[in-house]
Amino acid sequence: MARRYLRAKRKEAVISIITVISILGVAAGVAALIIALAINNGFRNSLQRHLLGATAHVSILEKRPRFGIENWRELLAKVRSLPHVRACEPALYGSVFLAGPMQSDGAVLKGIRPDSEMRTGEILSHLKAGSVGDLESAKGGLPGVILGSKLAQRTGMVLGSVVTVISPQGELTPFGPRPSYHKFRVVGIFESGFFDLDSAWAFASLPAVQKVLSLQDVVNAIEIKLDDIYRAADVARAAESAIGPQYAATTWMEQNRQILNALKMERAVTVVTIGLIEVVAALNILITLVMLVMEKYRDIALLMSMGARRDQIARIFMAQGLMIGVLGVALGLVCGYSLCYLADRYQWIRLDQEIYAFSYVPFDPRWVDGVWVAAAALLVSFLATIYPARNATRVAPAEALRYE
């Protein structure tokens, strides 16, 4: 009977119009939430993937930075024995200037062990040209360096060219410290797709970076990769117990807390604001059913006079409201997931990579989001049916049929 009422031609065309609007309203709300959550997931996953490609899951640092970690080999042995540790490698970071044929630019120079960096980092797996194996000794006896694609483009460097690395820390002379100059040969160019990395990072062998920074056999970080990134806090606590009180272990979540919290807050705000569309759709359903009860006043009285119970009458209108909700939810899910798939596959929304760090808006729709969004929409649709359904049960057959 609910289906029959829903499909029947109306005496009042406005009821049919509002019914269609209700279905489209539910569909719009569901589709909008699916798309918005897919964008949030896409940005979060892409950002997390790029960040974890550049940074470790857990990093061991000095609590009071001085001259670096001297006993790093001993610490490596201790950390490697911890549960969930997949790889563990030393790293040395320093801020330098690169002098190329076009211009000079600042960069973050990271010293690595070339034979093991591929086990802990993912950036060097995105080489556009060159080889990691050439970092130890490039052509002409010069140490090798691998540059980000944007950094190489700005400084005018190409594969095989010689770049001057200028260290502001420099060397200590009788007249005070002065910058030091070191020649490197470009042996590789990487492109991770993350603008901040491609425009500012460079890699060289650990001994070469120690020489540039005028340091002995020390590092300033020990980077740990895990088999489960969400166990980082547990591994960090275990690492601090093993390495001693003079060192601290930080996780990737702590290092990127601000941006991760911002994405979490954005997700909550998105759900609340776009969820208001569902509230508007629910009001349309309520109006539709109220007007339908008024139109079917005589039919309800006849059914009740023939023995229909009040709860049966209520279920008719509740079922009709839920049908509107189900149709809207189904249409919204189909539209939402289809648009997400096409927009991500064909990169419909392009971005300025220098501003947003991504070349396009990534979409990552999840089936879990579809489940709870659909359930929430149906719940709102059901709540909108309660008042009209109760109103229908208050019809008095004698009063409604007195003049028939």
> What is the C-alpha separation between 344 and 101, in angstroms, rounded?
38
Tell me what the mean pLDDT of segment 315-335 comes to: 89
pTM for the full predicted model = 0.73
Residues 6+ apart with CB under 8 A from 101: 155, 156, 157, 161
Higher confidence at residue 160 or residue 335? Answer: 335
Transcribe 332-385 into DSSP letters.
HHHHHHHHHHHHHHTT-SB--HHHHSSSB------HHHHHHHHHHHHHHHHHHH
> What is the C-alpha separation between 208 and 135, in angstroms, rounded?
9
Q: Is 184 helix (H, G, I), strand (E, B) or coil?
A: strand
Q: pLDDT tens across 301-312, in order?
A: 777 777 778 788
Residue 143 carries which DSSP code? Answer: P
Q: Is 95 helix (H, G, I), strand (E, B) or coil?
A: strand
- Give the pLDDT of residue 138: 60
Mean of the per-residue pLDDT values of the chain: 83
Dihedral sign of CA atoms 25, 6, 16, 321 in order: negative
Q: Which of 118, 73, 356, 67 is nearest to 225 (CA)?
A: 118
Number of other CB atoms surrounding residue 248 within 10 Å: 15
Q: pLDDT tens across 77-111, in order?
A: 899 889 999 889 999 999 999 988 888 899 999 99
- Give the pLDDT of residue 364: 92
Residues 6+ apart with CB under 8 A from 397: 301, 302, 304, 305
Name 162's bridge partners: 185
